[in-house]
Chain A
Amino acid sequence: MLLDLFYILVFPGFLFLSAFALWAEYFDRLVYARLQNRVGPPWFQPTADFIKLVAKADLVPTAANPTFFRLAPIIALTAVCTAFIYIPLWSTSSLFSFNGDIIVILYLLTIPTLCFFIGGWYSTSLYCRIGAVRTVTQLFAYEIPLFMGLLAPALLANSWSITEIMQFYIDHPWFWAFNLIGLIVSLIALHGKLEKAPFDIPEAETEIVAGGFTEYSGRLLAFLRMTLDIEMIVGASLLAAIFLPFGLQSGPVVGFLVYLVKVLLIVFLFSIARTIFARMRIDQMIAFCWQYVVPLAMVQLLINLILKGIIIR
Protein backbone atom coordinates (compact mmCIF):
# COMPACT_ATOMS: atom_id res chain seq x y z
CA MET A 1 0.00 0.00 0.00
CA LEU A 2 2.71 2.42 1.07
CA LEU A 3 4.79 1.35 -1.91
CA ASP A 4 1.86 1.99 -4.22
CA LEU A 5 1.53 5.45 -2.78
CA PHE A 6 5.25 6.00 -3.39
CA TYR A 7 4.83 4.81 -6.97
CA ILE A 8 1.92 7.14 -7.57
CA LEU A 9 3.23 10.23 -5.84
CA VAL A 10 6.97 10.10 -6.23
CA PHE A 11 8.40 7.69 -8.76
CA PRO A 12 7.39 7.20 -11.50
CA GLY A 13 4.30 9.08 -10.52
CA PHE A 14 3.52 12.69 -9.91
CA LEU A 15 6.83 14.19 -8.72
CA PHE A 16 8.98 12.47 -11.31
CA LEU A 17 6.40 13.24 -13.96
CA SER A 18 6.30 16.95 -13.10
CA ALA A 19 10.07 17.26 -13.02
CA PHE A 20 10.42 15.37 -16.27
CA ALA A 21 7.65 17.42 -17.89
CA LEU A 22 9.30 20.69 -16.92
CA TRP A 23 12.64 19.45 -18.14
CA ALA A 24 11.09 18.27 -21.38
CA GLU A 25 9.60 21.74 -21.86
CA TYR A 26 13.08 23.13 -21.40
CA PHE A 27 14.44 20.63 -23.91
CA ASP A 28 11.71 21.55 -26.39
CA ARG A 29 12.34 25.26 -25.99
CA LEU A 30 16.09 24.81 -26.22
CA VAL A 31 15.85 22.80 -29.44
CA TYR A 32 13.31 25.27 -30.83
CA ALA A 33 15.67 28.14 -30.04
CA ARG A 34 18.74 26.43 -31.46
CA LEU A 35 16.91 25.57 -34.66
CA GLN A 36 16.09 29.26 -34.92
CA ASN A 37 19.71 30.21 -34.30
CA ARG A 38 18.96 31.57 -30.83
CA VAL A 39 20.47 30.72 -27.44
CA GLY A 40 17.30 29.56 -25.71
CA PRO A 41 16.38 29.55 -22.03
CA PRO A 42 18.53 28.29 -19.13
CA TRP A 43 17.66 24.82 -17.77
CA PHE A 44 15.60 26.11 -14.87
CA GLN A 45 13.45 28.46 -16.93
CA PRO A 46 10.24 26.35 -17.04
CA THR A 47 10.59 25.59 -13.30
CA ALA A 48 11.17 29.25 -12.53
CA ASP A 49 8.16 30.18 -14.64
CA PHE A 50 6.08 27.65 -12.75
CA ILE A 51 7.21 28.93 -9.33
CA LYS A 52 6.64 32.52 -10.39
CA LEU A 53 3.11 31.78 -11.59
CA VAL A 54 2.25 29.82 -8.47
CA ALA A 55 3.37 32.75 -6.32
CA LYS A 56 1.12 35.17 -8.16
CA ALA A 57 -2.46 36.08 -7.43
CA ASP A 58 -5.28 34.20 -9.16
CA LEU A 59 -7.61 36.61 -10.84
CA VAL A 60 -11.07 35.40 -11.76
CA PRO A 61 -12.93 37.69 -14.18
CA THR A 62 -16.13 39.03 -12.67
CA ALA A 63 -18.19 37.80 -15.58
CA ALA A 64 -16.72 34.30 -15.42
CA ASN A 65 -18.30 31.33 -13.73
CA PRO A 66 -15.86 30.86 -10.81
CA THR A 67 -16.60 27.18 -10.21
CA PHE A 68 -15.92 25.99 -13.74
CA PHE A 69 -13.17 28.53 -14.21
CA ARG A 70 -11.26 27.16 -11.19
CA LEU A 71 -12.14 23.50 -11.62
CA ALA A 72 -11.16 23.16 -15.28
CA PRO A 73 -7.36 23.43 -14.85
CA ILE A 74 -7.36 21.14 -11.79
CA ILE A 75 -9.39 18.42 -13.47
CA ALA A 76 -7.24 18.70 -16.58
CA LEU A 77 -4.06 18.24 -14.55
CA THR A 78 -5.52 15.32 -12.58
CA ALA A 79 -6.63 13.55 -15.75
CA VAL A 80 -3.24 13.64 -17.46
CA CYS A 81 -1.44 12.54 -14.27
CA THR A 82 -3.88 9.65 -13.87
CA ALA A 83 -3.29 8.57 -17.45
CA PHE A 84 0.43 8.25 -16.77
CA ILE A 85 0.15 5.47 -14.20
CA TYR A 86 -1.38 3.13 -16.77
CA ILE A 87 1.48 3.45 -19.23
CA PRO A 88 4.37 0.98 -19.07
CA LEU A 89 7.66 2.82 -19.08
CA TRP A 90 10.68 0.53 -19.25
CA SER A 91 9.15 -2.91 -18.89
CA THR A 92 6.06 -4.47 -20.31
CA SER A 93 3.94 -3.72 -17.25
CA SER A 94 2.69 -0.47 -15.89
CA LEU A 95 1.84 0.33 -12.30
CA PHE A 96 -1.75 -0.62 -12.75
CA SER A 97 -2.58 -2.65 -15.76
CA PHE A 98 -5.84 -4.19 -16.85
CA ASN A 99 -7.47 -5.21 -20.08
CA GLY A 100 -8.78 -2.06 -21.71
CA ASP A 101 -6.31 0.38 -20.18
CA ILE A 102 -5.40 1.80 -23.60
CA ILE A 103 -8.98 2.96 -24.06
CA VAL A 104 -9.00 4.51 -20.59
CA ILE A 105 -5.78 6.39 -21.34
CA LEU A 106 -7.18 7.75 -24.59
CA TYR A 107 -10.26 9.00 -22.82
CA LEU A 108 -8.25 10.47 -19.97
CA LEU A 109 -6.22 12.33 -22.58
CA THR A 110 -9.38 13.79 -24.06
CA ILE A 111 -10.43 15.29 -20.73
CA PRO A 112 -7.86 18.15 -20.74
CA THR A 113 -9.08 19.30 -24.14
CA LEU A 114 -12.63 19.42 -22.83
CA CYS A 115 -11.40 21.24 -19.72
CA PHE A 116 -9.67 23.82 -21.91
CA PHE A 117 -12.95 24.30 -23.66
CA ILE A 118 -14.96 24.62 -20.43
CA GLY A 119 -12.39 26.94 -18.83
CA GLY A 120 -12.23 29.10 -21.94
CA TRP A 121 -15.97 29.14 -22.46
CA TYR A 122 -16.77 30.11 -18.86
CA SER A 123 -14.15 32.86 -18.89
CA THR A 124 -16.74 34.64 -21.06
CA SER A 125 -14.04 36.77 -22.66
CA LEU A 126 -14.45 36.97 -26.42
CA TYR A 127 -10.94 35.79 -27.19
CA CYS A 128 -11.43 32.88 -24.77
CA ARG A 129 -14.69 31.85 -26.36
CA ILE A 130 -13.26 31.85 -29.84
CA GLY A 131 -10.29 29.91 -28.53
CA ALA A 132 -12.57 27.44 -26.75
CA VAL A 133 -14.66 26.83 -29.83
CA ARG A 134 -11.52 26.33 -31.88
CA THR A 135 -10.21 23.83 -29.30
CA VAL A 136 -13.28 21.66 -29.72
CA THR A 137 -13.43 22.07 -33.49
CA GLN A 138 -9.87 20.92 -33.65
CA LEU A 139 -10.64 17.98 -31.36
CA PHE A 140 -12.96 16.56 -34.00
CA ALA A 141 -10.17 16.74 -36.52
CA TYR A 142 -7.39 14.94 -34.66
CA GLU A 143 -9.15 12.68 -32.19
CA ILE A 144 -10.34 10.10 -34.72
CA PRO A 145 -6.99 9.61 -36.49
CA LEU A 146 -5.34 9.43 -33.06
CA PHE A 147 -7.66 6.64 -31.94
CA MET A 148 -7.30 4.81 -35.24
CA GLY A 149 -3.55 5.12 -35.20
CA LEU A 150 -3.10 4.01 -31.61
CA LEU A 151 -5.57 1.17 -31.78
CA ALA A 152 -4.07 -0.35 -34.90
CA PRO A 153 -1.34 -2.24 -32.96
CA ALA A 154 -3.99 -3.35 -30.47
CA LEU A 155 -5.79 -4.96 -33.36
CA LEU A 156 -2.60 -6.76 -34.24
CA ALA A 157 -2.01 -7.94 -30.69
CA ASN A 158 -5.66 -8.86 -30.27
CA SER A 159 -5.83 -7.15 -26.90
CA TRP A 160 -6.94 -3.85 -25.35
CA SER A 161 -4.11 -3.93 -22.84
CA ILE A 162 -0.83 -2.14 -23.43
CA THR A 163 1.03 -4.81 -21.50
CA GLU A 164 -0.20 -7.45 -23.87
CA ILE A 165 0.58 -5.32 -26.89
CA MET A 166 4.15 -5.05 -25.66
CA GLN A 167 4.24 -8.76 -24.94
CA PHE A 168 3.17 -9.30 -28.52
CA TYR A 169 6.11 -7.22 -29.72
CA ILE A 170 8.49 -9.35 -27.65
CA ASP A 171 7.11 -12.41 -29.37
CA HIS A 172 7.21 -10.79 -32.82
CA PRO A 173 10.21 -8.40 -32.65
CA TRP A 174 10.05 -6.94 -36.14
CA PHE A 175 6.40 -6.12 -36.24
CA TRP A 176 6.91 -2.52 -35.09
CA ALA A 177 8.14 -1.78 -38.59
CA PHE A 178 4.67 -2.48 -39.97
CA ASN A 179 3.20 0.17 -37.72
CA LEU A 180 5.31 3.09 -38.89
CA ILE A 181 2.38 4.71 -40.69
CA GLY A 182 0.41 4.48 -37.47
CA LEU A 183 3.30 6.16 -35.64
CA ILE A 184 3.30 9.04 -38.12
CA VAL A 185 -0.47 9.41 -37.90
CA SER A 186 -0.36 9.38 -34.10
CA LEU A 187 2.48 11.88 -34.01
CA ILE A 188 0.53 14.33 -36.17
CA ALA A 189 -2.64 13.83 -34.16
CA LEU A 190 -0.83 14.16 -30.84
CA HIS A 191 0.79 17.33 -32.14
CA GLY A 192 -2.68 18.68 -32.77
CA LYS A 193 -3.78 17.62 -29.30
CA LEU A 194 -0.87 19.46 -27.72
CA GLU A 195 -1.85 22.58 -29.68
CA LYS A 196 1.63 23.24 -30.94
CA ALA A 197 2.46 25.06 -34.18
CA PRO A 198 1.30 24.51 -36.93
CA PHE A 199 -1.77 23.34 -35.01
CA ASP A 200 -1.68 26.10 -32.36
CA ILE A 201 -4.87 27.55 -33.80
CA PRO A 202 -6.80 27.62 -30.49
CA GLU A 203 -4.16 29.84 -28.92
CA ALA A 204 -3.03 31.70 -32.03
CA GLU A 205 -1.29 34.65 -30.44
CA THR A 206 -1.65 37.12 -33.27
CA GLU A 207 -5.39 36.61 -33.60
CA ILE A 208 -6.92 35.77 -30.25
CA VAL A 209 -4.12 36.62 -27.77
CA ALA A 210 -3.91 33.28 -25.92
CA GLY A 211 -7.24 31.72 -26.85
CA GLY A 212 -8.92 29.93 -24.00
CA PHE A 213 -6.07 30.75 -21.61
CA THR A 214 -6.34 34.52 -22.05
CA GLU A 215 -8.09 35.24 -18.74
CA TYR A 216 -6.09 32.75 -16.69
CA SER A 217 -3.37 33.95 -14.34
CA GLY A 218 -1.35 32.81 -11.35
CA ARG A 219 -1.74 29.27 -10.07
CA LEU A 220 -4.48 28.29 -12.49
CA LEU A 221 -2.36 29.29 -15.47
CA ALA A 222 0.55 27.36 -13.93
CA PHE A 223 -1.68 24.27 -13.77
CA LEU A 224 -2.80 24.72 -17.36
CA ARG A 225 0.75 25.01 -18.59
CA MET A 226 1.80 22.05 -16.46
CA THR A 227 -1.08 20.09 -17.97
CA LEU A 228 0.21 20.73 -21.47
CA ASP A 229 3.76 19.77 -20.46
CA ILE A 230 2.63 16.57 -18.77
CA GLU A 231 0.30 15.78 -21.64
CA MET A 232 3.30 15.96 -23.94
CA ILE A 233 5.20 13.45 -21.78
CA VAL A 234 2.21 11.15 -21.36
CA GLY A 235 1.45 11.24 -25.06
CA ALA A 236 5.08 10.64 -25.96
CA SER A 237 5.32 7.77 -23.46
CA LEU A 238 2.19 6.22 -24.87
CA LEU A 239 3.53 6.44 -28.41
CA ALA A 240 6.87 5.07 -27.23
CA ALA A 241 5.16 2.15 -25.53
CA ILE A 242 2.90 1.28 -28.44
CA PHE A 243 5.09 1.99 -31.45
CA LEU A 244 8.70 1.80 -30.28
CA PRO A 245 9.08 -1.44 -28.33
CA PHE A 246 12.83 -1.35 -27.75
CA GLY A 247 14.83 -2.17 -24.67
CA LEU A 248 11.92 -3.84 -22.94
CA GLN A 249 13.92 -6.73 -21.52
CA SER A 250 17.15 -4.99 -20.69
CA GLY A 251 16.51 -4.36 -16.99
CA PRO A 252 15.31 -1.25 -15.22
CA VAL A 253 18.39 1.00 -15.61
CA VAL A 254 19.06 0.51 -19.31
CA GLY A 255 15.34 0.26 -19.95
CA PHE A 256 14.76 3.55 -18.21
CA LEU A 257 17.48 5.25 -20.25
CA VAL A 258 16.05 3.83 -23.46
CA TYR A 259 12.66 5.12 -22.38
CA LEU A 260 14.06 8.63 -21.86
CA VAL A 261 15.69 8.57 -25.28
CA LYS A 262 12.44 7.49 -26.90
CA VAL A 263 10.42 10.25 -25.24
CA LEU A 264 13.01 12.91 -26.01
CA LEU A 265 13.16 11.76 -29.61
CA ILE A 266 9.44 12.33 -29.93
CA VAL A 267 9.72 15.73 -28.22
CA PHE A 268 12.54 16.56 -30.61
CA LEU A 269 10.35 15.70 -33.60
CA PHE A 270 7.67 17.99 -32.18
CA SER A 271 10.19 20.82 -31.88
CA ILE A 272 11.20 20.43 -35.51
CA ALA A 273 7.59 20.42 -36.66
CA ARG A 274 7.05 23.58 -34.63
CA THR A 275 9.98 25.21 -36.40
CA ILE A 276 9.34 24.48 -40.05
CA PHE A 277 5.65 25.15 -40.53
CA ALA A 278 3.41 28.19 -40.51
CA ARG A 279 0.25 28.05 -38.46
CA MET A 280 -2.69 26.66 -40.41
CA ARG A 281 -6.16 28.11 -40.45
CA ILE A 282 -8.80 26.06 -38.68
CA ASP A 283 -10.49 25.09 -41.94
CA GLN A 284 -7.16 24.07 -43.45
CA MET A 285 -6.31 22.00 -40.38
CA ILE A 286 -9.60 20.10 -40.49
CA ALA A 287 -9.30 19.54 -44.23
CA PHE A 288 -5.73 18.33 -43.75
CA CYS A 289 -6.70 15.85 -41.05
CA TRP A 290 -9.64 14.42 -42.92
CA GLN A 291 -8.01 14.39 -46.36
CA TYR A 292 -4.60 13.06 -45.47
CA VAL A 293 -4.30 11.83 -41.91
CA VAL A 294 -7.49 9.78 -41.63
CA PRO A 295 -6.89 7.91 -44.93
CA LEU A 296 -3.36 7.17 -43.74
CA ALA A 297 -4.75 5.76 -40.51
CA MET A 298 -7.12 3.62 -42.54
CA VAL A 299 -4.23 2.27 -44.59
CA GLN A 300 -2.56 1.30 -41.32
CA LEU A 301 -5.67 -0.49 -40.14
CA LEU A 302 -5.88 -2.30 -43.46
CA ILE A 303 -2.24 -3.37 -43.25
CA ASN A 304 -2.78 -4.71 -39.76
CA LEU A 305 -5.91 -6.56 -40.75
CA ILE A 306 -4.09 -8.20 -43.64
CA LEU A 307 -1.13 -9.04 -41.42
CA LYS A 308 -3.43 -10.53 -38.86
CA GLY A 309 -5.38 -12.55 -41.41
CA ILE A 310 -2.47 -13.87 -43.46
CA ILE A 311 0.77 -13.95 -41.57
CA ILE A 312 0.01 -14.55 -37.94
CA ARG A 313 -2.52 -17.21 -38.44
Chain B
Amino acid sequence: MKNPGKMLFEVLNHLFKKPATVNYPFDGSKMPKGFRGKILFHPEKCIGCQLCVRDCPSNAIKIIKIADKQFEAQIDLGKCIYCGQCVDSCLKKAIEITSDFELAQLDPTKLKITVKGEPPTTPPPNQPNNA
Protein backbone atom coordinates (compact mmCIF):
# COMPACT_ATOMS: atom_id res chain seq x y z
CA MET B 1 0.00 0.00 0.00
CA LYS B 2 2.63 2.49 1.04
CA ASN B 3 5.03 3.37 -1.66
CA PRO B 4 7.98 5.67 -1.14
CA GLY B 5 8.69 7.97 -4.04
CA LYS B 6 5.17 7.71 -5.43
CA MET B 7 5.60 10.94 -7.33
CA LEU B 8 8.77 9.88 -9.14
CA PHE B 9 7.23 9.29 -12.55
CA GLU B 10 5.10 12.40 -12.37
CA VAL B 11 8.10 14.61 -11.62
CA LEU B 12 10.29 12.94 -14.24
CA ASN B 13 7.54 13.60 -16.77
CA HIS B 14 7.74 17.26 -15.95
CA LEU B 15 11.38 17.32 -16.93
CA PHE B 16 10.22 17.27 -20.53
CA LYS B 17 7.28 19.62 -20.13
CA LYS B 18 7.16 23.34 -20.55
CA PRO B 19 7.22 25.13 -17.18
CA ALA B 20 3.84 26.41 -16.03
CA THR B 21 5.34 29.76 -15.07
CA VAL B 22 4.09 32.74 -17.04
CA ASN B 23 6.77 35.16 -18.20
CA TYR B 24 4.73 37.97 -16.74
CA PRO B 25 5.50 41.40 -18.06
CA PHE B 26 6.07 40.04 -21.56
CA ASP B 27 3.13 37.71 -21.89
CA GLY B 28 0.17 36.50 -19.90
CA SER B 29 -0.76 39.91 -18.59
CA LYS B 30 -4.16 39.72 -20.28
CA MET B 31 -7.08 39.58 -17.92
CA PRO B 32 -10.43 37.99 -18.84
CA LYS B 33 -13.24 40.11 -20.25
CA GLY B 34 -15.11 41.80 -17.45
CA PHE B 35 -12.16 41.92 -15.10
CA ARG B 36 -12.60 44.69 -12.58
CA GLY B 37 -9.61 47.02 -12.95
CA LYS B 38 -9.15 50.78 -13.19
CA ILE B 39 -12.38 52.70 -13.76
CA LEU B 40 -12.92 54.97 -16.73
CA PHE B 41 -14.91 58.19 -16.30
CA HIS B 42 -16.85 59.84 -19.13
CA PRO B 43 -17.32 63.47 -18.05
CA GLU B 44 -19.72 64.22 -20.89
CA LYS B 45 -22.25 61.71 -19.53
CA CYS B 46 -22.07 62.73 -15.89
CA ILE B 47 -25.01 64.59 -14.42
CA GLY B 48 -23.44 65.12 -11.02
CA CYS B 49 -25.95 63.06 -9.02
CA GLN B 50 -23.21 61.97 -6.62
CA LEU B 51 -24.63 58.42 -6.36
CA CYS B 52 -21.19 56.92 -7.00
CA VAL B 53 -19.69 59.08 -4.25
CA ARG B 54 -22.37 57.96 -1.86
CA ASP B 55 -21.99 54.26 -2.58
CA CYS B 56 -18.22 54.08 -2.82
CA PRO B 57 -17.12 51.89 0.11
CA SER B 58 -13.69 53.51 0.35
CA ASN B 59 -14.34 57.18 -0.51
CA ALA B 60 -12.11 56.87 -3.54
CA ILE B 61 -14.14 58.99 -5.94
CA LYS B 62 -15.17 62.65 -5.82
CA ILE B 63 -17.36 64.40 -8.39
CA ILE B 64 -16.76 68.13 -8.52
CA LYS B 65 -18.82 70.68 -10.43
CA ILE B 66 -16.52 72.86 -12.48
CA ALA B 67 -19.10 74.69 -14.57
CA ASP B 68 -22.74 74.42 -15.40
CA LYS B 69 -23.41 70.76 -16.28
CA GLN B 70 -19.67 70.15 -16.33
CA PHE B 71 -18.20 67.75 -13.85
CA GLU B 72 -14.81 66.35 -13.16
CA ALA B 73 -13.98 63.21 -11.25
CA GLN B 74 -11.12 62.88 -8.83
CA ILE B 75 -10.26 59.25 -8.43
CA ASP B 76 -7.79 58.03 -5.87
CA LEU B 77 -6.49 54.76 -7.23
CA GLY B 78 -4.69 54.11 -3.96
CA LYS B 79 -7.97 54.06 -2.11
CA CYS B 80 -10.05 52.36 -4.78
CA ILE B 81 -10.79 48.72 -3.96
CA TYR B 82 -11.89 47.92 -7.53
CA CYS B 83 -15.28 46.59 -6.53
CA GLY B 84 -17.10 48.28 -9.40
CA GLN B 85 -19.98 49.49 -7.25
CA CYS B 86 -19.81 52.99 -8.79
CA VAL B 87 -20.35 51.42 -12.21
CA ASP B 88 -23.48 49.70 -10.91
CA SER B 89 -24.70 52.83 -9.13
CA CYS B 90 -24.30 55.20 -12.06
CA LEU B 91 -27.62 55.86 -13.77
CA LYS B 92 -26.09 57.41 -16.89
CA LYS B 93 -23.30 54.89 -17.47
CA ALA B 94 -20.75 57.64 -17.04
CA ILE B 95 -18.40 55.23 -15.30
CA GLU B 96 -17.07 52.18 -17.02
CA ILE B 97 -14.81 49.42 -15.83
CA THR B 98 -11.66 48.47 -17.71
CA SER B 99 -9.42 45.48 -17.25
CA ASP B 100 -6.36 47.67 -16.70
CA PHE B 101 -4.73 46.43 -13.51
CA GLU B 102 -1.08 47.42 -13.90
CA LEU B 103 -1.33 50.50 -11.73
CA ALA B 104 1.78 50.19 -9.55
CA GLN B 105 3.56 53.50 -9.00
CA LEU B 106 6.68 54.61 -7.16
CA ASP B 107 5.21 58.09 -6.76
CA PRO B 108 2.00 58.00 -4.70
CA THR B 109 0.81 61.35 -6.10
CA LYS B 110 0.46 59.74 -9.52
CA LEU B 111 -2.23 57.50 -8.07
CA LYS B 112 -4.60 60.43 -7.76
CA ILE B 113 -6.08 61.16 -11.13
CA THR B 114 -8.46 63.85 -12.25
CA VAL B 115 -10.68 63.37 -15.27
CA LYS B 116 -11.98 66.63 -16.75
CA GLY B 117 -14.48 67.11 -19.51
CA GLU B 118 -14.21 69.34 -22.56
CA PRO B 119 -13.84 73.05 -21.92
CA PRO B 120 -17.23 74.63 -21.06
CA THR B 121 -17.57 76.35 -24.43
CA THR B 122 -18.55 73.12 -26.22
CA PRO B 123 -21.82 71.67 -24.94
CA PRO B 124 -21.70 68.05 -23.70
CA PRO B 125 -22.65 65.71 -26.59
CA ASN B 126 -24.97 63.54 -24.53
CA GLN B 127 -27.26 66.12 -23.01
CA PRO B 128 -29.54 64.42 -20.48
CA ASN B 129 -33.22 65.25 -20.88
CA ASN B 130 -34.50 64.65 -17.39
CA ALA B 131 -31.60 65.16 -15.07
Contacts and interface: CB of A to CB of B under 8 A. Distances in A.
Interface in B1-48: 4-8, 11-12, 14-15, 17, 19-21, 23
Given A37-B20, A38-B20, A39-B19, A277 B14 contact: no
Interface stretch (A28-36, A82-90, A246-254): A28-36
Contacts of B11: 35-36, 272, 275-276
Contacts of B17: 37
Count class of interface residues, chain B: 10 to 19
Given A35-B14, A37-B14, A276 B8 contact: yes
Contacts of A276: 5-8, 11
Interface residues on A, range: 10 to 19
A34 B8 contact: no
A114 B40 CA distance: 64
A276 B8 CA distance: 6
27 contacts: A31-B15, A34-B14, A34-B15, A34-B19, A35-B11, A35-B12, A35-B14, A36-B14, A37-B14, A37-B19, A37-B20, A37-B21, A38-B19, A38-B20, A38-B21, A39-B19, A39-B21, A39-B23, A40-B19, A272-B8, A272-B11, A275-B7, A275-B11, A276-B5, A276-B7, A276-B8, A277-B5
Interface of A: 31, 33-40, 272, 275-277
Q: Report the 5 A-B pairs with minimum CB-CB distance, sorted nearest first.
A: A35-B11, A39-B21, A39-B19, A276-B7, A37-B20
